[in-house]
Amino acid sequence: MRFYEFESRRIVERAGIPVTDYGFCTSAEEARSIAERIDGPTVVKSQVLTGGRMKAGGVKFADTPAEAAVHAEQILALEISGHMPVGVLVDPRAEVEQEYYAAVLWDGRAKRPMMLFSDMGGIDIEEVAEKHPDHVGRGHLSNLHPISDFQAKQVVAEAGGLTGRELTRATPILTRLAQLQRDFDLTLAEINPLARLADGSFVALDAHMEMEDEAVGRHRSMLAEIGVELDEPRELYEPSEFERNVKAIDEADHRGVIQGKDHGFEGNLGLVIGAGGGSLTLTDAVRSQGGKPANYAEIGGNPSVSKSKGLAMEVLKKEGVEKIAVMMSIVSNTRVDIVARGVIKACLELGKDPAETITVFRIPGAWEEEGAKILDKYGIEFKDRSTSMWEAAGEAVERIRGDG
């Protein structure tokens, strides 16, 4: 789960990391009063879950509260890459002496969290790491043993040779960020820039936090405290009707799992496919042979007839989809006969001839003899494991082309 900037600031603030005297609001009037309280130049920032705010005009500078209100009005109405802001953040314009980068994220290869610190903040860290490797400090953390200040200190000291008050002031901030990453299952805990102000104090000017979806359930009280409502959608994009419908069918019945996605797919061949790795393999196989999938799908576990039917119907209801391919890698849990019944029912209920609509049925494995019998009744050829996944996908592509 991704957090808005104002939420990320609340998270770091709770952890004892200094932040500016910012305010979050949803109206121009509130923006004016926050700017009045700040009593100085401000920055008004759109709160959206997407990058490129600055370029899109979602970040504006104001010298007076009246100006802040005007900016807030405009930004609140400004859509950025398909996202409407949930509000604006009004921030004092700080006098920054130096910008730093601080982050803690997972290093999958080491299977441990990794601290990153740089004295070249405010810019893309990957670029800094590539061009100025001596300005980036790194250090891994245990998952079991307590996090200690010296570990953060080592990382800070390694970044461009920081010492003096810079070192002693930045160290506890990185330690707290590391603790935060661990305590709240953050897949990314980043402060960029972390700023040193004219008076030598450090403050987080922007923060970017992401929490692992699987762990959201165990952090309800912290989330409630910072004002996150759990039923808010936090998707990368707005789910389509197809995606919403498949999800609803899946949730209505606990047996088996079906998933469907069609974001980025615009083809004419409907895919009723599974399981996890099988779906990836089959989607590639269709595309590599010139086919155009209308969607991605996954059948997993042992879904009921009505659930299999539901997925096939939703695929067939998609605009421009006349035919489907029903394919899976060898199954041991999913029953071939149940999927066969489901997809045939879907065709019949939509008034379509199953033999015409189902371009290929290739699901080898559990209950395949029974499945083959059912398919045979409707004039559909059952493909067992002697037809490879690549060949099955190719046949589906051929059949849809033949109709072209």
Three-state SS at 25? strand
Q: How far is the CB of 14 from another protein (least distance, A)?
A: 19
d(CA 332, CA 111): 31
CB atoms within 10 A of CB 242: 22
Helix then strand then coil, in percent of the chain rounded to 5, is 40, 25, 35
Q: How far is the CB of 236 from another protein (least distance, A)?
A: 5
Q: How far is the CB of 237 from another protein (least distance, A)?
A: 9
Measured from the CB atom, the residue of 59 and 366 that comes closer to another protein is 366
Q: How far is the CB of 82 from another protein (least distance, A)?
A: 12
Measured CA to CA in angstroms, residue 154 lies from 15, 105, 115, 157 at distances of: 21, 17, 10, 5
| Under 8 Å between Cβ of 137 and 125 | no
Q: How far is the CB of 207 from another protein (least distance, A)?
A: 19
Q: How far is the CB of 269 from another protein (least distance, A)?
A: 13
Measured from the CB atom, the residue of 138 and 261 that comes closer to another protein is 261
Measured from the CB atom, the residue of 225 and 266 that comes closer to another protein is 266
Three-state SS at 134? helix
In 119-230, DSSP assigns E strands to 136-140, 186-197, 202-204, 207-211
Measured from the CB atom, the residue of 37 and 112 that comes closer to another protein is 112
CB atoms within 10 A of CB 191: 29
Measured CA to CA in angstroms, residue 326 lies from 80, 258, 339 at distances of: 38, 13, 9
Contacts of 303 (CB under 8 A, 6+ apart): 253, 255, 256, 257, 258, 311, 334, 338, 339, 342
Three-state SS at 38? helix
Q: How far is the CB of 99 from another protein (least distance, A)?
A: 23
Cis peptide before 193 (omega within 30 of 0): yes
Residue numbers at the binding site for another protein (CB under 8 A): 106, 108-109, 111-113, 126, 142-144, 182, 185, 187, 212, 214-215, 218, 236, 261, 263-264, 274-281, 283-285, 287-288, 296, 298, 328-333, 364-366, 385-386, 388-391
CB atoms within 10 A of CB 114: 19
How many C-alpha atoms does 119 have within 13 Å on its Cβ side? 17
d(CA 119, CA 151): 17
Measured from the CB atom, the residue of 77 and 144 that comes closer to another protein is 144
**DSSP letter, residue 57:** T
Q: How far is the CB of 404 from another protein (least distance, A)?
A: 22
Q: How far is the CB of 336 from another protein (least distance, A)?
A: 12
Measured from the CB atom, the residue of 20 and 308 that comes closer to another protein is 308
Measured from the CB atom, the residue of 378 and 390 that comes closer to another protein is 390
